[in-house]
A and B are shown apart, each in its own frame.
Chain A
Amino acid sequence: MKKSKLVLGLSFLAVSGLVLIAADHIDAPSVTGNAADITDMFTFQGQDTNNLVFAVNTQGLLSPNKTAEAVFNENVMIEVNIDNTGDNVEDLVIQAIKRGDKMYFFGPYKPSMTGKSSSIDVSKASGDVAISTYKMNPVTASKNGMKFFAGPRDDPFFFDLGQFQKILGGTATGFNNPGIDTFAGTNVLSVVVEVPKAMLGGSGTLNVWAETKKKQ
């Protein structure tokens, strides 16, 4: 009884078009497949636990064949937003944007405006790094305790998305064991920045999110 109710619920969802697609991969019509599409974000302690690492991935499900031609866009800023006061409004931003063959980083700094629009305060430049080339060793840079990377990486996300879609579609009632990682063998374009916790403020907890913002 319970089970059929659940299946009914899932079928209803599938019919109503709520198809689950990955962490945030290919999630919406206006950004899918372009440089503004965020697939995932991670925030974790660095090898040096005095640091936090922010990783923002874009342009999901790149096959090895497509990875070399995938590029960051000079009109699309990748922005890590950090709320250190608990009101879910950003107190600090870290911005990354491509110029030429490099990724330029700004912040963490307090932005002049919060919300949907941003500008770049060039006086808050924190470093830059050559964008790594597919199949070459990753190029990293460091400055003032921060570390910077931009370029193709393996997609760190793992999920049996195919089976989940079957469950939603009503053609399966559960996962298989073992499952199949839909994201195995696929790449993303990553921006990774490591920052001393002392630069991030707060009193023990932060709220963090990633945004892509396009030049108007």
Chain B
Amino acid sequence: MKTNKLKMMTIALAVALVSANCDNNDDNNTNTGNEMMDFSGTYVQQDQMARPAINTVFIASGQPKDDFNAAIPSAMGSKYQSIFQSRLMALNPAYDMNALGQSAAAFTGLLATDVLNVSTTKKTTFFDGTNVLTGRALADDVIDVELLLIFGGSAGTSNPQLTSDHVDANDIAFGTNFPYLATAW
């Protein structure tokens, strides 16, 4: 008798649980249960990027850009360093050394492996006068940094007409809290 009651209760409970699950399933549009969704399959690389403007500055248009987007960083250095160096010398035939003291080979050797170097212990910035390549913050004027390193020579004073685009900030202020990026126009 007791056992039967217990059994009945168990069945009732089980039914209730199952119903609850069904309800959840019915409400799936607002449900967060990942188990209801299909995330299976193989996903293949279409685009990649890390440092700003690398593909666009150093890779020729058309198929070479698609090829670079399909490349993985560990294989980039050997394939792209010499290509980047030719581009650099075409952009600035007088290039000798940049403000970081890098020769054309050293500079393009760094750039050819397109990863963003990030510090987990320091301020994160592309370059702030002190920290170099410790991340990329939203407000970093990355184009001026790259122009300076490409055109500015070892003292950063060569080709002054080419070392800044004189657009120094975004058109809207960034937020101080998540998600940080500014509201869309």
Contact = CB atoms under 8 A, between A and B. Distances in A.
B41 A216 contact: yes
B56 A20 contact: yes
B23 interface: no
Contact of B171 (A23, A158, A163): A158
Contact of B43 (A46, A117, A206): A117
A202 interface: yes
Which of B124, B166, B181, B183 counts the most chain A CB atoms within 10 A? B181
A76 B184 CA distance: 22
Given A9-B91, A27-B69, A159-B165, 5 more contacts: A25-B56, A28-B65, A100-B29, A138-B179, A154-B183
B129 to A, nearest CB: 17
A176 B166 contact: yes
Nearest to B89: A9
Contact of B135 (A13, A24, A44): A44
Interface string A12-54: 1100111111111101111100001110111111110000110
A6 interface: yes
Interface size class of A (residues with CB under 8 A): 35 or more
Contacts of A183: 171
Nearest to B151: A6
B21 interface: no
Contacts of A31: 46-47, 66, 69
Interface of chain B, main secondary structure: loop
B43 A213 contact: yes
Contacts of A18: 59-61, 87, 90
Nearest to B39: A120
B102 interface: no
A174 B162 contact: yes
A23 B46 contact: no
Given A104-B39, A216-B42, A6 B159 contact: yes
B66 A29 contact: yes
B164 A186 contact: no
Contact of A28 (B39, B54, B55, B119): B55
Interface size class of B (residues with CB under 8 A): 35 or more
B171 A43 contact: no
Interface string A122-143: 1001001000001100101000
B178 A76 contact: no
- Complex A-B, nearest 6 residue pairs according to Cβ-Cβ distance, in ascending order: A174-B161, A28-B65, A213-B43, A149-B179, A36-B46, A209-B50
Interface of A: 2, 5-6, 8-10, 12-13, 16-25, 27-31, 36-38, 40-47, 52-53, 55, 64, 67, 76-77, 79, 81, 83, 87-89, 97, 99-102, 104, 106, 114-120, 122, 125, 128, 134-135, 138, 140, 147, 149, 152-154, 156-160, 163-164, 167, 173-181, 183-187, 190, 192, 194, 197, 200, 202, 204-216
A134 B169 CA distance: 24
Contacts of A187: 184-185
Given A154-B183, A209-B50, A6 B92 contact: yes
A101 B37 CA distance: 13
A166 to B, nearest CB: 12
